[in-house]
Structure formats: C-alpha cells, structure tokens
Amino acid sequence: MSEPRDRGTGKLAGAAPADDRIIGDQQRHWVETFTANPEMYGPEPSEPGRHAAACFVAEGLSAVLELGAGQGRDTLELLRRGLEVHALDFAPDALADIAALAGPELVGRLRATVHDVRRALPFAERSFDACYSHMLFTMALTTEELEALAGEVHRVLRPGGLCIYTVRHTGDAHYGAGRSLGDDRYENGGFVVHFFDRPLVERLAAAFELEDVTAFEEGDLPRRLWRATMRRR
Ligand SMILES: C[S@@+](CC[C@H](N)C(=O)[O-])C[C@H]1O[C@@H](n2cnc3c(N)ncnc32)[C@H](O)[C@@H]1O
C-alpha cells in the first residue's frame, strides 16, 4: 500500500495549498491551546489508552509508535505498562512536556519526534510492534492524506503488528456543525475535525485485518468516537 509522494517534501503528490494552510493554522492552534491549557485532557489516561496498553502487554508487544501524543496522558500509561514508546506530534512543546512528566524512571523508554503526519513517517519499515493514536486520524487530514498515513503505518509496523486508533464519527453531535472544509471536515472553535463514516474506516484498513470497531464516548459534549483495531497482514 503506497501512495505517490513528492520527492522533495515527502508530502502526498497533489496536496492542495488550501490544505497546507489549514494544517499550518491547526499546528499554531494546537501549540497555543496546549500552552494555555497545560492539562487540556486531564492527567488520567483515556479509556482507549488503557485498553491499548492492556492489549499490547497481553500480546507481549514492546515497541509502540504513538501518533498525535499531545500532552502525553496515554504516552505515560503506555510507559508505565513497561512499553517502549516513540511519541510523535507536530506540537514541540507538548512533546517536551511529556519527557519532563515521564521523569527519570520512565524517560529511558521514551523517544519523541516532532513531525507532521502528512509527511512520510521518519522510521524504517517494520520498526514497531504496535501503533496507537487517540484522535489524530480525526484531525484536519483529507481522506487522501489519511490513506497515505495508513500506508505509512502499515510500512513501519511488523507483520502481525497492531494498530489501535480512535476517531470521531458521523453520529457525533458536532458532525455538520461549524464551517465545512469539505471531505466531512468541519471547523468549530478553531479546531478542525474529520468525522469518519464506516466506509472510511474500512478503506484505511485495506491492507490490514480490521479486527474490531467499538463505539465509545468521551468528555462532556460528549464526543462520540470509534476505536478501530486493525492488524497488519
Ligand atoms: C485531539 S488531540 C489528542 C492528543 C492526545 N492523543 C490525547 O488524546 O490526549 C490531537 C493531537 O494531534 C496533533 N496533530 C494534529 N494534526 C497533526 C499532524 N498533521 N501531524 C502531527 N500531529 C498532529 C495535535 O498537536 C494534538 O496533539
């Protein structure tokens, strides 16, 4: 599963300048929001974070790539469960804060990389046992960019490796509200969300076995999400 990419930038060939502008705005927005809210999602791990950590440990997996780690509530949980975690996000200060929060006991198993997931992942093929991502796939990315990202996750996972990711779906109260950016993406309060329908989950799993899709809710709104589990063939 590979997508055509621009040789110079590693970006998907044909990515529109409008989408570059959207992502640039989103990056600034996330950096500012994290700076203003040092515990935006609270200090406790999320439910999918606990679930993913338990699954990875139960399968005896070790090297985990976390996409969109944010302020690290789930990164810390993965580390506490004994996993090696490579946390990736395009918000540099948030990643630096995770290293500080991890402290001397956990930091030895933490790596962090500042990276925009619209570009090829900066890792060798088959270098991770698992990938975990809470609410990164549901950001401002277009369907084309998401397909390329799923291809990259497939490339860096070992055969049999697990990918557990979460997304807001079209049953969410905010679906259709705010400014439409096309491709089921809506901007609300400065944040852009791509709301998934079931065919999109299946499309991203084309080169994987889609093992499970579980609906859950998070927060006061509440956000309505799916947790998708797919295994690399
Ligand atoms: C909704 S937050 C979730 C953070 C964290 N997973 C959690 O649940 O606490 C989404 C995260 O994705 C990051 N992000 C959004 N678009 C990104 C992109 N194109 N490349 C890398 N990170 C991105 C944001 O900086 C933010 O940390």
pLDDT value at position 16? Answer: 63
Identify the band that residue 2 occupies on the pLDDT scale cut at 50, 70 and 90: very low
Which of 50, 76, 90 maximizes ligand 1 atoms within 8 Å of its Cβ, making it the mutation to test the pocket? 90
Give the pLDDT of residue 37.
Answer: 93
Residue % of the chain over a pLDDT of 90: 87
Q: Which ligand 1 atom is the nearest neighbour of the CA of 68?
A: 12
Q: Write the DSSP assignment of the chain as a string of letters.
A: ----B-TTT-BBTT--HHHHHHHHHHHHHHHHHHHH-TTTT-SSPPHHHHHHHHHHHHTT--EEEEES-TT-HHHHHHHHTT-EEEEEES-HHHHHHHHHHHHHHHGGGEEEEE--TTBPPSS-TT-EEEEEEESSTTSS--HHHHHHHHHHHHHHEEEEEEEEEEEEBTTSTTTT-SEEEETTEEEETTEEEE-B-HHHHHHHTTTEEEEEEEEEEETTTTEEEEEEEEEE-
For residue 8, is pLDDT > 50?
A: no
- At the topology level of CATH, where does 27-60+119-232 sit? Rossmann fold (3.40.50)
Domain locations along the chain:
27-60+119-232
**Residue 43 banded pLDDT, cuts 50, 70, 90:** confident
Q: What is the pLDDT of residues 60-101, one digit of tens each?
A: 999 999 999 999 999 999 999 999 999 999 999 999 999 999
Confidence check: pLDDT of 9 > 70:
no
pLDDT at 6: 43
Q: Which residues pair with 196 in a beta bridge?
A: 169
Distance 89 CA to ligand 1 centre (A): 6
Q: Minimal CA–CA distance to 30: which of 195, 192, 145?
A: 192
Residues with C-beta less than 6 Å from any ligand 1 atom: 23, 26, 30, 41, 46, 68-70, 73, 89-91, 94, 116-118, 134-136, 139
**Are the beta carbons of 153 and 162 closer than 8 angstroms?**
no
> Which residue's CA is the nearest one to ligand 1's atom 11?
68
| Ligand 1 geometric centre to CA of 178 (Å) | 20
75 CA → ligand 1 middle, Å: 12
Q: What is the pLDDT of residue 224?
A: 98
pLDDT band at 193 (very low <50, low <70, confident <90, very high): very high
Atom nearest to 141 CA in ligand 1: 19
Please tell me the predicted confidence (pLDDT) of residue 38. Answer: 87
| Single-letter amino acid code for the residue at 129 | D
How far apart are the CA of 69 and the centre of ligand 1, in A?
Answer: 6
pLDDT at 184 over 60: yes
Confidence of residue 50 (pLDDT cuts 50, 70, 90): very high
Query: 69: buried, middle or exposed (CB in 10 Å: 19+, 13-18, 0-12)?
Result: buried
How far apart CA 94 and CA 38 sit, in angstroms, is: 9
In whole angstroms, give the CA distance from residue 95 to residue 112. Answer: 7
Instruction: Answer whether residue 11 shows pLDDT above 80.
Output: no
Taking the centre of ligand 1 as the mean of its atom positions, its distance from the CA of residue 146, in whole angstroms, is 14
Ligand 1 atom at shortest distance from the alpha carbon of 94? 27
Instruction: Check if the beta carbon of residue 84 is closer than 8 Å to that of residue 57.
Output: no
